[in-house]
Structure 1
């Protein structure tokens, strides 16, 4: 195991890989990362599966089998992705047991077209949970307005949830409320709260990309001095929301009944601006009880030269809040930016899903010839 990833884990950060493919599973590479890079979980999304299945490695035989069974593209996608996630869950089974269910998690996302459909999201969350059929799976649900009730209902059914596409502090508070509401309903339904886990995926680099573009367009030294800092500041304030929310009487009552906090997960941690350090969104977001899901390039960069300086979040909240105020003073509307990022995130996943459908449909047609 690399010293850098060991130190990061010791500081309280769970390292999850933001990628999955059949090749990673069958080659043993995924299992190897557990031992060499302290990887203790995996996240997926429509873009990741579009790249994996579109690449074709390891999927030909399974697509041919689906074609022989008469499955269409959508059914084949579900077959391929749930199988990959189930097998990845098995790879992480020992991690899941050794951490008491805290880690060893593998996430699979509901179809992006359901992001504005509460009932549809809940139905597919239940179906994906049933099909993967592993206790260490997590169902990813976008944090849209419609997704909030879907999160509560899915948690209430005893299903572990990874809430994704969170950009704003206001929406994050609503996500935590949905989680606590779900736990209350789960308890009323007789579920064991100790068996339910959740993370809240708070996106980081995309915030910098959007805000930095606006700051640079202003063309002033004051605006330029604020670039490359909003994403970290926003995430640090999210950690403050996490700490305050789970210290509340409502949350403490549920934790006393065996429930677990919904840990913050730092997503979109690959640096998009080459002028920024490639480990920025890892090194500057270290604290206990967080997850950092990294693309492979970021994981390997941190393993090579990442520096863990202990807790880099606690005690930074006043400074982070002031930074966002300074950005607001430049005429950049935080609420407008975060709403835009949510819309764009959904559009990107919709586009990836369409690309995946087209790729699988072509492969099915070829297999049927």
Structure 2
């Protein structure tokens, strides 16, 4: 754990086969990383740009594009899980996440079926299955938690999504309390969308993602569901508006995880501030969002748009992989 005293963890938001083979263990030790996350966009970059997959691809000629993708992704997840296994065995996270087919985001039964199949095929105890938090996703999350499968609930933008997800996790946990769960709250995309608008109104920038994450963190903490933590995602900085470690430094919180690209973690280790920044008092958070509303910032619309953009981006990345593997 990066900060043992408050149970604050850093996970790496990146996987690629050659990296897993050559550098992953070294990076884990150097930066006290205790987990890894993947998504269709990460696998797209890895599979389509790295030569490390060509040898295995030659053995998959009889499979359809999705079968090829799954074989490649499962191999990477198994390898990463094996590297992380010692951490898992001593209770220091040790999880690696894989996402279900993003085209199933509105298909609860399809998601459940695929999630269980992937979990069984990977065959590692320290794997988390990532499920986007849609209404169908929440139905699937409840079933997977009840089955004892570790779940990473992803693409959470709004407090409403978080509440629905927590309800599903709580129902599932009553049937089976064994599985570990994280709620992946996306952060930086709020500021990339809203900073230009806030700047034009002479309002503070770089705050919406953090305050929204703080609000959802308070909700998750208050619910106190066993083996359930907040995971802050989308915490890399694009451009030079903020320091590379900005979103990690501003979201150090007890009982939480931050998943970020390696260069963001390197920046945090070199120049970040590890002092806890959360929780933020609910009154301060409410005042902030009241101020946004007074300046005609429609957060309901922002939440809706960011979720749709996130679902679309992962689906497009997945389709690009399948096209290339035809």
- Per-residue Cα deviation, 1:29-86 (whole angstroms, up to 9, x for no partner): 111111100010000000000000011331010000111xx11111010111011101
Q: Does 1:205 align with 2:183?
A: no
> Residue 184 of structure 1 is aligned with which of 174, 187, 203?
174
Q: 1:316 to 1:281 in 2, by over 3 A?
A: farther
> Residue 83 of structure 1 is aligned with which of 75, 89, 93?
75
Max radius of gyration: which structure?
A: 1
Partner of 1:121: 111
TM-score by length of 1: 0.85
5 Å-filtered alignment, 1:95-174, equals 95-99=87-91, 103-174=93-164
- 1:176 CA drift (Å): 0.7
> Do the aligned residues in 2 keep the contact of 1:226 with 1:327 (CA within 8 Å)?
no
Instruction: Out of 321-330 and 340-349, give the one that drifted further.
Output: 321-330
Partner of 2:18: 23
What's the secondary structure of 1:58's corresponding residue?
helix
Partner of 2:198: 215
Partner of 2:250: 284
Instruction: Out of 40-49 and 278-287, give the one that drifted further.
Output: 278-287
> Do the aligned residues in 1 keep the contact of 2:6 with 2:255 (CA within 8 Å)?
no
> Residue 242 of structure 1 is aligned with which of 193, 208, 220?
220
- 1:277 CA drift (Å): 2.2
What's the secondary structure of 1:92's corresponding residue?
helix
- RMSD across aligned positions (CA): 1.4
**Contiguous gaps of at least 5 residues in structure 1:** 187-192, 252-259, 362-369
5 Å-filtered alignment, 1:52-63, equals 52-63=46-57
| Number of residue pairs matched by the alignment | 326
- 1:171 CA drift (Å): 1.0
CA distance in 2, matches of 1:79, 1:180: 33
CA distance in 2, matches of 1:273, 1:170: 30
Partner of 1:296: 262
Q: Does 1:50 align with 2:33?
A: no
Tell me: higher relative CO, structure 1 or 2? Use CA pairs within 8 A at least 6 residues apart: 1
> Do the aligned residues in 2 keep the contact of 1:200 with 1:264 (CA within 8 Å)?
yes
CA distance in 2, matches of 1:326, 1:136: 43
